[in-house]
Structure 1
Amino acid sequence: MPKIVIKNLFDKTISAPKGEKSVLKIMQEDFQDWMHACGGKGRCTSCKMIVVEGMQNLSEVNEFENRYKEKGALNANERLACQSILEEGEITIEVPDRNKLPHLTYSY
Structure 2
Amino acid sequence: MFTARVALTCSPEGRATVVERLAEEAAVVPRDFAGCEFYVVSVDANDDHHVLIAEEWTDRVAFDAYQQSDYFAESLATLEDCLAAPPNSAYYDATLVGP
**TM-score, normalised by the number of residues in structure 2:** 0.30
Q: Which of the two has greater helix per residue?
A: 2
Q: Which has the higher contact order (CA 8 A, sep 6+)?
A: 2
Larger Rg: 2
Normalised TM-score (structure 1): 0.28
